Amino acid sequence: MKVFKFGGASVKDAAGVQNVLKVLEIEGLQEKLIVISAMGKTTNALEEVVKDYLEKGDFNDALQPVKEYHREIMLGLFENKEHGTFNAVRGLFQELENFLNHNRSTNYDFVYDQVVIYGELLSTTIVSQYLSSRGVKNDFLDARFCIRTDSTNRDAQVHWEETLTQIQKRVDRENLTVTQGFIGADPNNFSTTLGREGSDYTAGIFAYCLNADSVTIWKDVPGVLNADPRVFEKPQLLEHISYEEAIELAFYGASVIHPKTLQPLQRKEIPLYVKSFLNPVNAGTAVRKGQPIFPKVPCFIVKKNQVLISLSSLDFSFIMEKNISEIFSLFHKYQIKVDLIQNSAISFSVCIDNKFNNLEKLINHLKATFRVSYNTGVSLYTIRHFTEEAVNLLEKDKKILLRQTTRETVQLVAIP
């Protein structure tokens, strides 16, 4: 059995959905489980729904474009406007509106998870119905019945034992199954999410639990590149990389693979392929055991909209283990992801990702104990397997706030 994951770009319009069928016809229509993300930028649009709902008490203006977007896709897929898919999609929007009209919680993270999951439910409903309309029998599976998690909204932790049981019970390995990425459910059956771009992780979870032969992530790029083509010119394809290198690249922020995806695959030595849905016959990138530990070229990664925080003690005393422990307990409390650490005797600097928008709370808390300075909107550049030429090229025309070098990696915090 093979697990495929199709991201939002692959199903952003009717032509994309039709192309999913073409890929499946090339790869085979049986013994597949396909994980599908929300269509296009739907997750971003639903985040606006959450924002308007909590800040303005109204969500209709933000939700209407989401409805129109999905209706346009359906009109491109189904000639009959009375096709059952239209009713199914209307039913999902009614469920969403019913939640928003009756919800009493003002907890952003909780509301977020109850709302954004509809992006995946809408996309998989449309894709599953389209495949059926083209004579392709498939099983529609609500991933929330399978991916069981704790109650940490927006970054839920998987309960592996129950998840394994549910997946093995509900998935028919012989058939084609269509399910959602990114979403799960907690012990109270409230919806949870696995973190932005978490559909790759979902594919890894299903593959692990089903002992799949392989996982293929279908992207709009030829495979894993040594640099983001949206940022760097003439990136090179990495045809073969090891699990270890893929995990390192994902950790540092390479957007092509979610950081958590490789862990379950590596444990069972399940190969991962990253291929282009535009050219499905091309080999793409293979990530598996026995591949070269290091690519032969430097790998460039950039994370934008980061925050650089520098701390020093109020009385110029040393920053010791006790202080660092206190700092990291605050990072944990405010759900702050640390991407870089640098310290000296009396100072401590970190580059962080403020994805949960808790920076102001964190800074106020830190100011009670430390002298604090920080820069927002900085970029964190990472070069794996760097050369001096690569470093010089990256530093050109940038104001470097912090630089850190290890044996294989250079990281730069810079103002673009």
% of the chain beyond a pLDDT of 70: 99
- The model's pLDDT over 56-77, given as tens digits with 9 standing for 90+, comes to 999 999 999 999 999 999 999 9
* 402-411 average pLDDT score: 94
DSSP character for 230? T
Phi, psi dihedral angles at 374 (to 5 degrees)? -155, 155
Beta bridge mates, 308: 351, 375
- The model's pLDDT over 372-394, given as tens digits with 9 standing for 90+, comes to 999 999 999 999 999 999 999 89
pLDDT for 322 beyond 90: no
CA dihedral 155, 157, 162, 163 (to 10 degrees): 60
Cα–Cα distance, 409 to 258 (Å, whole number) = 20
CB atoms inside a 10 Å sphere around CB 231:
13
Where are the alpha helices (H) located in 30-59, listed in sequence order?
Answer: 42-56
CB atoms inside a 10 Å sphere around CB 180:
27
Residue from 146, 153, 238, 224 nearest 194 by CA: 153
Which pLDDT band holds residue 99 (cuts at 50, 70, 90)?
A: very high
Cα–Cα distance, 287 to 270 (Å, whole number) = 9
Query: Which of 152-156, 197-201, 240-244, 290-294 has the least mean pLDDT?
Result: 290-294
pLDDT for 295 beyond 80: no
Query: Which of 15-29, 58-72, 268-282, 337-351 has the least mean pLDDT?
Result: 337-351
Residue 153, both tokens: 């909204």
Which pLDDT band holds residue 53 (cuts at 50, 70, 90)?
A: very high
Which pLDDT band holds residue 265 (cuts at 50, 70, 90)?
A: very high
131: Cβ contacts below 8 Å, ≥ 6 apart: 21, 24, 138, 176, 178
Which pLDDT band holds residue 80 (cuts at 50, 70, 90)?
A: confident
Q: Can you give the pLDDT at residue 381?
A: 95
Cα–Cα distance, 233 to 134 (Å, whole number) = 40
Contact 260, 201 (CB under 8 A): yes
Q: Can you give the pLDDT at residue 256?
A: 74
Which pLDDT band holds residue 89 (cuts at 50, 70, 90)?
A: very high
181-217 burial, b at 16+ Cβ within 10 Å, e below that, comes to: bbbbbbeeeebbbbbebbbbbbbbbbbbbbebebbbb
* 183-204 average pLDDT score: 95
Question: Over the chain, what is the mean pLDDT?
Answer: 94
> What DSSP letter does each residue of 121-175 carry, written as one string?
HHHHHHHHHHHHHTT---EEE-GGGT-BB-S-TTSPPB-HHHHHHHHHHH--TTS
Residue 409, both tokens: 């990696």
Q: Can you give the pLDDT at residue 149?
A: 98
Beta bridge mates, 82: none
Cα–Cα distance, 231 to 300 (Å, whole number) = 10
Q: Can you give the pLDDT at residue 293?
A: 65
All structural domains of the chain: 2-212 (3.40.1160.10), 299-415 (3.30.2130.10)
- The model's pLDDT over 296-307, given as tens digits with 9 standing for 90+, comes to 789 999 999 999
pTM: 0.88
Which pLDDT band holds residue 32 (cuts at 50, 70, 90)?
A: very high
Cα-only R_g, the chain: 23
Contact 203, 261 (CB under 8 A): yes
Edge-first strand listing for the sheet containing 285-287:
139-141, 176-180, 32-36, 2-6, 214-219, 272-276, 285-287, 240-241
Cα–Cα distance, 366 to 350 (Å, whole number) = 13
Q: Can you give the pLDDT at residue 229?
A: 87
Cα–Cα distance, 17 to 29 (Å, whole number) = 15
pLDDT for 231 beyond 90: no
Cα–Cα distance, 263 to 275 (Å, whole number) = 20
